[in-house]
Amino acid sequence: MASYPKHLCTPEEYIALERKALYKNEYCNGEISAMSGASREHILIVVNLGSDLNTQLENRDCEVYTTEMRVRTPDTKLYTYPDVAVVCGPPKFEDQSVDTLLNPTLIVEVLSPSTEAYDRTKKFSAYRTINSLQEYILTSQQECRVTQFIRPASGPWLFQEFTNLEDTIHFQSIKCSVSLKKIYARIQFPPDSELQASEENRL
């Protein structure tokens, strides 16, 4: 059987297609991938966190975006739609369409079983090339667990993890604080036995 080379799109081709698309697609190393639908828990976490941060930042020179704002890494090998992105100071965009952010200060991704490994590794590696990015947050939707990565003045990124609803996360990059109770409002986690079975099925 003949083997045909896979067509890889340029960033310019991707943007032209994406602005006409009915559904959102991400771009990585020339390949375009359709974004899957979000669960109820995923949507609630995005709304809970995004709305709380927006309220805290309403009188400051910051803007909060949720899943509709595209973000580009400097080498243009990656275009994504973070679940929450915050920029403090004047936002910079790729062009006059102002739909692709270049200088996020904070990025939040809500994890799902199909994207967790990617969000923790390759995507985080690409995000670290964004000079403006000071903080990266990973939020589980299956259990009470939020991981915080902070860029220090020098050296490796700092790491903290929060697993108690009574915990409060202090977002150093934007000087805001949000409790896990607020992030996970109206969400009920599965029993430990169900969570363990779900994790085993992913292996």
Q: What is the pLDDT of residues 38-95, one digit of tens each?
A: 999 999 999 999 999 999 999 999 999 999 999 999 988 899 999 999 999 999 999 9
pLDDT band, residue 4 (cuts 50/70/90): very low
- Model confidence pLDDT, tens digit, residues 162-197: 999 999 999 999 999 999 999 999 999 987 644 444
What is the pLDDT at residue 192?
66
SS3 annotation, the chain:
CCCCCCCCCCHHHHHHHHCCCCCCEEEECCEEEECCCCCHHHHHHHHHHHHHHHHHCCCCCEEEECCCCEEECCCCCEEECCCEEEEECCCCECCCCCCEECCCCEEEEECCCCCHHHHHCHHHHHHCCCCCCCEEEEECCCCCCEEEEECCCCCCCEEEEECCCCCEEEECCCCEEEEHHHHCCCCCCCCHHHHHHHHHHHC
Domains in the chain and their CATH numbers? Answer: 39-202 (3.90.1570.10)
> Residue 3's pLDDT band (boundaries 50, 70, 90)?
very low
Whether residue 98 has pLDDT greater than 60? yes
Average pLDDT over residues 138-151: 97
pLDDT at 202 over 70: no
Q: What is this structure's pTM?
A: 0.90
More confident residue, 46 or 153: 46
Q: For the residues 106-132, what does the mean pLDDT come to?
A: 95
pLDDT at 148 over 90: yes
